[in-house]
Amino acid sequence: MHPSASAEPTVSTDSGERGGTAGDAPGVPFSGRSPGRGAVPLCAALLALLLVSVVVAIGLGTAVITPGDTARYLWAALSGEEIGASEATAYRIVWEIRTPRVLLAALVGAGLSTIGVAIQAMVRNALADPYVLGVSSGASVGAVGVTVTGGLAGLGVYAVSAGAFLGALTASALVYAASVSRGRLSPLRLILTGVAMALGFQAVMSVIIYLIPNSEATSTILYWTMGSFGAATWAALPAVAVAVLVGTAVLNRCSRALDVMALGDESAASLGIDPDRHRKGLLVLVSLVTGAMVAVSGAISFVGLVMPHLVRMVVGSTHARVLAVSPLAGAVFMVWVDLVARTLVAPRELPLGVITALIGVPVFVTLMRRRAYMFGAR
Amino acid sequence: MDLTLDRLSVVTDGKKLLSDLSLTVADGRCVGLIGPNGSGKSTALKCIYRALRPSSGTVRLGEEELSRLSMRRSAQLVAALVQDGEIDLDFTVEEVVALGRTPHARGNQAPSSRERGLCEQAMRQVDIGHLARRGVLTLSGGERQRVLVARALVQEPTILVLDEPTNHLDVRHQVELLSLLRGTGLTTLVVLHDLNLAAAACDRLGVLSEGRLVATGTPEKILTTELVHDVFGVRTTVVSHPLTGDPQLLYSLDPPAPNGSDTPCPSYGD
């Protein structure tokens, strides 16, 4: 991890462990690959795996439906084909309950991984995750605030989600206002302010729980801090789908700028990339997408932290590749995590944060012990 | 293309880092900036590669004012080797070098075959061709410094600014780098700490002290026992290089005379 330890002759191990370069003959001066092209086969494989995972996950649950039947029901729903009366219940489980849930898991998994990549580039810190700007605790406060006060009642069933979204954006706006200085946005100041702000919001939550011993408020807080897709409906999908897909597309378009930002602010300026302007843009994008996700699923830890590192270990650091692979890898991972969460101790459900932590902690520790993987020399 | 600094001042937190610096680097010439630590050399360079906006004064590239150009446009004209070249992610060497094409690239397009050739050539020039697939974070300081030089070269600038380019380099690579820079024919402004290398590599030298330009001229005119003593506070003997005729300094580690340190000791005079 330290520069002084880096001079050891670990050449072959290093290049061998980067999937993106493993296939190239050593000693060729310049591969000149298009930045994103090396990841195409991996993306295709992950996309196929995602489709299979989605179908399998839709079929599994208290009532097990075979992948063949699942696929037939999905096709029927999409094409408008008739389903026999004997299968009506199974069809409804598949289409009305499980499909939106699994799709939401895939979307949020994709979004968290992608935003994790963006936020690590924005604050230039390996430990950053999408919630580092206090977004999740802000969302919890917003949701609880709506639950307790009955505000936003005009929005009906979406009131709590809307409250969470507003809370998330408020948190980001506060972090921005507190960390911007003379028009400049220092990465370190940003992350420190975010951490402090998150602690502040948690204190507010504790006060609410303490003063209003209302079981509904307490369970709302638990839901938003641990994360769940239990409330997934078709109606909740479009907003988060747009946020995640647009966010991912925008980030993919500016992958080169993210590469340049990782070279340091001064180098970025000398290459024509204004680091402050890009950080401000990223902050807006990251806040909106994370807010949209938190509003429907709560805060699911570790995915946005670990997945970017795992992807970099496989495809190297170039953002064109990382941003192509991350959403797919995150989606596959989250579909399976959600499946475990709802089937392991059925009919009860485990909070998603528990599963991701159980997987994420050992993975992260192992990863940090690997000397071949580096994020900054610090 | 001439590079002109016109009455450039930088004030940060009430502290004047640079006062009224005026300096011209004529087209194709190499000017060295020398001066003690904290004299404002890096601050001056930052104003040219736009990591810092001057409080007053202007930088001109040819006839054009730098502040009127887009960041992208000025990065097409000016390449910089920055001192604080810390890299977060473990890119490969060739990836970092290829990022030098950023100001010329549209979006995420793949490099053209000409650009690939450019990267290859730059890596050969600074002797890092064999490191192409290595992660930059596994390199030694000197190797990484050469990667950054290659990145600046593939930028195809007309003006090059370098902040201590010989930092971390072994003596062979110091000499090779400076002769490479001389050979590029680019308008170059370079901060150097090694005064002997500065004398050998630069057409003219500018001396900064406490944010002010205190002298400019040819190395022969600048590198005198008196000036080096006044600005750097060290005593030296100046000799002429037996082959090139460049002035070269011989340092003495003797402690300065306890009284009257302003009076050069006779034995160190001309």
A187 contacts in chain B (CB < 8 Å): none
Interfacial A residues in 188-217 facing B (CB < 8 Å): none
**For range B59-70, the mean pLDDT:** 93
Query: Would you call A316 an interface residue with chain B, using a CB distance cutoff of 8 Å?
Result: yes
Question: What residues are paired with A325 via a beta bridge?
Answer: none
A358 phi and psi angles, rounded to 5 deg: -60, -35
Higher-pLDDT residue of A345 and B114 is B114
CA-atom Rg of chain B in angstroms? 20
Question: What residues are paired with B101 via a beta bridge?
Answer: none
Q: Which two tokens stand for residue B173?
A: 């690579």
Question: What's the CA gap between B116 and A94, in Å, rounded?
Answer: 52
Q: Any residues with CB less than 8 A from the CB of A217 and at least 6 apart, and which?
A: A144, A147, A148, A208, A209
Contact (CB<8Å) A26/B133? yes
DSSP-based helix, strand, coil % in chain B, nearest 5: 35, 25, 35
Q: What integer pLDDT is reported at residue A376 of this predicted model?
A: 58
Closest CA to B194 of B246, B149, B245: B246
Query: Which chain B residue is nearest to residue A124, measuring alpha carbons?
Result: B88
Contact (CB<8Å) B87/A15? no
**For range B66-83, the mean pLDDT:** 93
Dihedral angle of Cα A14, A17, A19, A25, to the nearest 10 degrees: 50
Interfacial A residues in 295-314 facing B (CB < 8 Å): 312
Q: Any residues with CB less than 8 A from the CB of B243 and at least 6 apart, and which?
A: none
A16 contacts in chain B (CB < 8 Å): none
Task: Point out the least confidently predicted range of A70-79, A110-119, A138-147, A289-298.
Answer: A138-147
B118 contacts in chain A (CB < 8 Å): none
Q: Tell whether the model's pLDDT for residue A157 goes beyond 80.
A: no
Q: What integer pLDDT is reported at residue A39 of this predicted model?
A: 80
**Region of B91 on the Ramachandran plot (φ > 0 left; ψ -120 to 50 alpha; else beta):** beta
Closest CA to B249 of B215, B201, B192, B199: B199
Q: What integer pLDDT is reported at residue A326 of this predicted model?
A: 96
Task: With beta carbons less than 8 A apart as the criterion, state whether B239 and B248 touch.
Answer: yes
Q: What integer pLDDT is reported at residue B256 of this predicted model?
A: 56
What are A314-370's pLDDT values in tens digits? Answer: 898 999 999 999 999 999 999 999 999 999 887 888 888 889 888 888 877 887 676
Higher-pLDDT residue of A155 and B42 is B42
Interfacial B residues in 96-125 facing A (CB < 8 Å): 96, 98-100, 102-103, 105, 107-111, 113, 115-116, 119-120, 123-124
**For range A175-180, the mean pLDDT:** 90
Query: Would you call A318 an interface residue with chain B, using a CB distance cutoff of 8 Å?
Result: yes
Q: What integer pLDDT is reported at residue A14 of this predicted model?
A: 37
Q: What integer pLDDT is reported at residue A363 of this predicted model?
A: 79
Q: Tell whether the model's pLDDT for residue B130 goes beyond 70.
A: yes
Q: Any residues with CB less than 8 A from the CB of A71 and at least 6 apart, and which?
A: A55
Q: How confident is the model at residue A6 (pLDDT cuts 50, 70, 90)?
A: very low
Q: What integer pLDDT is reported at residue A232 of this predicted model?
A: 86
State whether the Cα torsion A230-A235-A237-A240 is positive or negative.
negative
Q: Look at strands B187-191 and B159-163 and give their pairing.
A: parallel
Question: What residues are paired with B78 via a beta bridge?
Answer: B159
Say which of A6, A124, A270 has its CB closest to residue B51. A270
Q: How confident is the model at residue B167 (pLDDT cuts 50, 70, 90)?
A: confident
Q: How confident is the model at residue A36 (pLDDT cuts 50, 70, 90)?
A: low
How far is the alpha carbon of A38 from chain B, nearest alpha carbon, in Å?
Answer: 12
**For range B121-135, the mean pLDDT:** 91
Summary mean pLDDT of chain B = 89
Q: What integer pLDDT is reported at residue A222 of this predicted model?
A: 76
Question: What's the CA gap between B194 and B82, in Å, rounded?
Answer: 17
Site from A267, A322, A378 to mutate, B interface, most B CB atoms within 10 angstroms? A267
- State the residue for tokens 């504790």: A206
Domains along the sequence of chain B with CATH: 3-103+110-263 (3.40.50.300)
CA distances (Å), origin A193, targets A177, A190, B72, B145? 10, 5, 31, 33
How far is the alpha carbon of B20 from chain A, nearest alpha carbon, in Å?
Answer: 23
Q: Tell whether the model's pLDDT for residue A284 goes beyond 60.
A: yes
**DSSP symbols for B156-186:** --SEEEEESTTTT--HHHHHHHHHHHHHH--
**For range A88-98, the mean pLDDT:** 87
Q: Tell whether the model's pLDDT for residue A34 goes beyond 60.
A: no
Query: Would you call B215 an interface residue with chain A, using a CB distance cutoff of 8 Å?
Result: no
Question: What's the CA gap between A169 and A157, in Å, rounded?
Answer: 20
Q: How confident is the model at residue B192 (pLDDT cuts 50, 70, 90)?
A: very high
Q: Tell whether the model's pLDDT for residue B101 goes beyond 90.
A: yes
What are B6-30's pLDDT values in tens digits? Answer: 999 999 888 899 999 999 999 999 9
Interfacial A residues in 228-287 facing B (CB < 8 Å): 252-253, 255-256, 259-260, 262-267, 269-274
Q: What integer pLDDT is reported at residue A174 of this predicted model?
A: 92
A262 contacts in chain B (CB < 8 Å): 87-89, 91
Q: What integer pLDDT is reported at residue A374 of this predicted model?
A: 67
Q: How confident is the model at residue A23 (pLDDT cuts 50, 70, 90)?
A: very low
**For range A216-227, the mean pLDDT:** 76
Query: Which chain B residue is nearest to residue A276, measuring alpha carbons?
Result: B51
Q: What integer pLDDT is reported at residue B263 of this predicted model?
A: 46
Task: Point out the least confidently predicted range of A8-22, B41-55, B70-84.
Answer: A8-22
Q: How confident is the model at residue A9 (pLDDT cuts 50, 70, 90)?
A: very low
Q: Which two tokens stand for residue A165?
A: 């979204």
Q: What integer pLDDT is reported at residue B157 of this predicted model?
A: 95
3-class SS at B6? strand
- Global pTM? 0.85
Task: Point out the least confidently predicted range of A30-44, A211-225, A240-254, A304-318.
Answer: A30-44
ipTM comes to 0.88
Q: What integer pLDDT is reported at residue B27 of this predicted model?
A: 94
